[in-house]
């Protein structure tokens, strides 16, 4: 039986690690590009090959043997304070890695069927005047905002577009905040809860958070990979965005009857601690999931309550095991919201 090969950049990160598990469970062979392949332990159906974006070096066989490319690579937006140098690193890590993939694919394009690339909902600006009870949120046709993240996402998406000129199907997923027990957004909320039973609400707490459960995000990558009719840009967010306050209190409330106290972190404190990045923490961005839903994708965790319930149960299980493949891939629990 032929086993398709998926090449992943950023495969050792939060999304890449979970996505690799799912791909292997479904019978794919996975190749992960990394600067130091020898540092990673061999796994069944997973191999590591070398690339170095800064030096413009890549193992050509990794692209030559790939049926699909999933491009996740990029410096973490929230990992460090935004100095001028760091902001340039964030942009370069995305655009230069795309360019390296394209350059290699120009030499090896026989097997490659499709490229699925990450982007971010940073493409969109704050909700602004259009926000209302009847507004479903930003759709994919909205122009990139003219702030730093909007420009970063625009350059990011432009850098991967040359694959279309090579005749390859291209899907771009603009990703919201991914909810997982392994790190990221929820890890920062959990710290004060674990240390002092304090639920920290950012600013006023009314700003809208467009989120997605990690498993739904990875399932969306698989859906994009396996459905030949999918092409273009899709928002990778759950269909029910919530406020910062609601998501924080939901996480705190799912700690199995542990008491907590909610406090607001004033905007000026966030600005002192985070600098320019505080704008993103305080920004309200409502993003629509209708395009991907109309394309047939079904969310396992359409509401934040469903997501938090699963994450809380997983956190209490021994060693926080991943959900069984049958649970992750079942399609009979469509959200009807």
328 domain residue, yes or no: no
What total number of domains does the chain contain? 1
In this structure, is residue 337 part of a structural domain?
no
- Among 275, 249, 271, 268, smallest CA distance to 260 is for 249
Convert 12-48 to b/e letters by CB count within 10 Å (16 or more is b): bbbbbbbbbbbbbbeebbbbbbbeeeeeeeeeeebeb
CATH code of residue 114: 3.40.50.720
CA pair distance 51, 178, nearest whole angstrom: 26
In a domain, 289, yes or no: yes
Average pLDDT over all residues of the chain:
88
Residue 118 has pLDDT above 90, yes or no: yes
In a domain, 244, yes or no: yes
- DSSP for 94-157? HHHHHHHHHHHHHH--SS--EEEEEEEGGGS---GGG-STT---B-TTSPPPSSHHHHHHHHHH
Give the pLDDT confidence of 43-77 residue by residue, as tens digits.
Answer: 889 999 999 999 999 998 999 999 999 999 999 89
Residue 329 lies in a domain: no
- The pLDDT, as a whole number, for residue 238 is 97
Q: Is residue 34 part of a domain?
A: yes
Q: Is the pLDDT of residue 101 over 90?
A: yes
**pLDDT, position 335:** 38
For residue 196, give its domain range: 5-321
Q: Which residue is associated with the tokens 């840009």?
A: 233
- Does 333 reside within a domain? no
Contacts of 52 (CB under 8 A, 6+ apart): 35, 58
Place of tokens 């406020």: 243
pTM for this prediction = 0.90
- Does the residue 326 lie in any domain? no
Q: Mean of the pLDDT values across residues 280-303? A: 94
């Amino acid at each position: 039986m032929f086993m398709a090969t998926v090449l992943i950049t950023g495969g050792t990160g939060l999304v890449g690690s979970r996505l690799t598990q799912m791909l292997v469970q479904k019978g794919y062979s996975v190749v992960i590009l990394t600067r130091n392949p020898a540092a990673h332990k061999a796994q069944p159906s997973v191999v590591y090959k070398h690339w170095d974006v800064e030096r413009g070096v890549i193992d050509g066989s990794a692209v030559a043997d790939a049926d699909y490319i999933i491009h996740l690579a990029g410096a973490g937006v929230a990992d460090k304070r935004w100095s001028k140098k760091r902001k340039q690193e964030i942009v370069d890590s995305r655009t230069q890695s795309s360019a390296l993939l394209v350059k290699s694919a120009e030499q090896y394009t026989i097997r490659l069927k499709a490229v699925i690339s990450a982007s971010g909902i940073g493409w969109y600006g704050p909700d602004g005047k259009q926000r209302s009870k009847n507004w479903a949120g930003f759709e994919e046709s909205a122009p990139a905002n003219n702030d730093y993240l909007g420009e970063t996402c625009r350059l990011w998406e432009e850098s991967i577009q040359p694959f279309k000129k090579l005749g390859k199907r291209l899907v771009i997923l603009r990703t919201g905040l991914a909810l997982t027990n392994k790190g990221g957004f929820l890890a920062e909320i959990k710290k004060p809860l674990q240390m002092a039973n304090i639920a920290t609400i950012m600013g006023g707490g009314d700003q809208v958070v467009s989120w997605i459960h990690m498993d739904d995000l990875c399932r969306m990558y698989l859906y994009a990979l396996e459905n030949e009719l999918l092409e273009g840009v899709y928002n990778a967010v759950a269909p029910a965005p919530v406020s910062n306050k609601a998501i924080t209190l939901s996480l705190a409330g799912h700690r199995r009857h542990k008491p907590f106290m909610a406090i607001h972190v004033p905007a000026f404190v966030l600005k002192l601690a985070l600098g320019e990045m505080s704008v993103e923490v305080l920004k309200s961005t409502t993003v629509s999931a209708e395009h991907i839903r109309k394309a047939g994708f079904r969310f396992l965790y359409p509401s934040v309550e469903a997501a938090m319930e699963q994450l809380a149960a997983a956190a209490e299980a021994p060693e926080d095991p991943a959900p069984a493949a049958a649970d992750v891939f079942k399609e009979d629990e469509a959200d009807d919201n």
